[in-house]
Amino acid sequence: MLLRYRGGAGMLAWAFHRIAGVALFLFILLHVLDIWLAAANPGLYDEVLTVYASLPGRIGEALLGAALLYHALNGLRIIALDFWPRLTRYHLQLWYACWVVFFVVGIPGAYLIIAPALGLPGLKG
C-alpha cells in the first residue's frame, strides 16, 4: 500500500514518522513502567534488566534507536519546513540529508549496542 500510493517521498516521510512515533509511544509506556519498577521492586527490575542486556533485547534497542533517530531527524525537517516555508523548495534534499545522517550515525550506533552480546569489541573493550 505504502509503495503503490503515488504520494512520493513526502508521503513515505510522513508514514515512517507516524509508524516510528507510535512505536516510541509504546516503548515509553514500557520504559516508565520498568523504571517505576526499579524503585518499587529493585530485585525484580534487575531480573528484567537481563532481558534488555541479552541479544534479542539489544536488537530491540537498536531498532528503538533507529525509530528514535529517524523520528528526531524527520521531526527537525518538519519544524524547519513549518517555520521557514521557503525551505519547501529543498524538501527532497532535506529528506535525503535525514537519511545520510541516519545511516552515518545509525550503523556504528547499532553495532555498538549489539556488540557486547556477541563478544565483539565495543566501547567497553
The residues binding another protein (CB under 8 A) are 10, 13-14, 18, 21-22, 24-25, 28-29, 32-33, 35-36, 38-39, 42-43, 45-46, 49, 52-53, 57-58, 61, 64-65, 68-69, 72, 75-79, 81-82, 85-86, 88, 91, 109, 112-113, 116, 122-124
Phi and psi angles of residue 105, each rounded to the nearest 5 degrees, phi first = -85, -40
Is the Cβ of residue 3 or residue 38 nearer to another protein in the bound state?
A: 38
Check: CB of residue 67 under 8 Å from CB of residue 13: no
Which of 32, 39, 107 is closest to 69 using CA atoms? 107
Is the Cβ of residue 76 or residue 97 nearer to another protein in the bound state?
A: 76
Sign of CA dihedral 116, 121, 124, 125: positive
Is the Cβ of residue 4 or residue 84 nearer to another protein in the bound state?
A: 84
| Burial zone of 27 (CB within 10 Å; 0-12 exposed, 13-18 middle, 19+ buried) | middle
> Shortest Cβ distance from residue 4 to another protein (Å)?
20
> Shortest Cβ distance from residue 110 to another protein (Å)?
10
Query: Nearest-5° angle of CA 66, CA 54, CA 68?
Result: 15
> Shortest Cβ distance from residue 121 to another protein (Å)?
13
> Shortest Cβ distance from residue 22 to another protein (Å)?
6
Total length of the chain:
125
